[in-house]
């Protein structure tokens, strides 16, 4: 995918936003949606996607990009707490040459635990029961933290 490629309305995340495909949602607001990555690089890997039809950082408005970072900033501490992870990593890929596989702008939040390597990017599909349970735990922690 080229960086100036037109937005594809039928990409996987556009379908998730329309409700045409399921996801394990952990947070949503007017501008963003956060859900579990189905091929997690570590337990608790969450994606924050924009609700704007934008492919990458070059084609999204600054305002919509800020909304993605605002949500990331808001929910990352709760993900870290829920997963009892001492650290976490953010990643946002632009263009297939950078490894981007879904042409809809998103931020990866990947909990990290010292000494444990992260898994390969977008390779191994998680056990769905396990992913659902982790998603529920993270969603509950986010809701509790936001209620405080
Ligand atoms: P990127 O390669 O940065 O575009 O990241 C896309 C991410 O989406 C990868 O980490 C995939 O594991 C993840 N992914 C692909 N399909 C789905 C899906 N249906 N639901 C949740 N995550 C997905």
Contact predicate 42/119, CB 8 Å: yes
Q: pLDDT (tens digit, 9 = 90+) per residue, 43-82?
A: 999 999 999 999 999 999 999 999 999 999 999 999 999 9
Atom of ligand 1 nearest to the CA of 99: 2
Q: Is 68 domain-assigned?
A: yes
Residues annotated as catalytic are 106
The secondary structure of residue 108, as a DSSP letter, is E
Which structural domain, as residue segments, surrounds residue 110? 29-147
Q: pLDDT (tens digit, 9 = 90+) per residue, 5-37?
A: 899 999 999 999 999 999 999 999 999 999 999
Q: Is 126 domain-assigned?
A: yes
Q: Is 19 domain-assigned?
A: no
Q: Is 16 domain-assigned?
A: no
Q: How many domains does the chain have?
A: 1
67 CB-near residues (< 8 Å, 6+ apart): 29, 31, 32, 50
Q: Is 99 domain-assigned?
A: yes
Q: Is 104 left (phi over 0), alpha (psi -120 to 50) or beta?
A: beta
CATH number at residue 135: 3.30.428.10
101 lines ligand 1 (CB under 6 A): yes
Atom of ligand 1 nearest to the CA of 102: 4
Q: Is 78 domain-assigned?
A: yes
Nearest to 85 by CA among 130, 138, 129: 138
Please give the distance, rounded to the nearest whole angstrom, from the Cα atom of residue 148 to the centre of ligand 1. Answer: 31
Q: Is 127 domain-assigned?
A: yes
């Amino acid at each position: 995918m080229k960086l100036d490629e037109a937005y594809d309305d039928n990409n996987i995340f556009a379908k998730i936003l329309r409700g045409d495909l399921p996801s394990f949602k952990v947070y949503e607001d007017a501008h963003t949606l956060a859900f579990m990555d189905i091929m997690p690089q570590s337990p608790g890997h969450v994606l924050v996607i924009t609700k704007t039809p934008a492919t990458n950082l070059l084609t999204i408005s600054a305002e919509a990009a800020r909304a993605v970072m605002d949500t990331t900033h808001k929910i990352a501490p709760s993900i870290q707490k829920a997963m009892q992870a001492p650290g976490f990593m953010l990643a946002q890929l632009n263009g297939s040459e950078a490894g981007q596989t879904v042409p809809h702008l998103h931020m990866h939040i990947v909990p990290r635990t010292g000494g444990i390597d992260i898994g390969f990017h977008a390779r191994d599909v998680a056990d769905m029961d396990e992913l659902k349970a982790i998603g529920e735990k993270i969603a509950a922690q986010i809701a509790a933290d936001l209620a405080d």
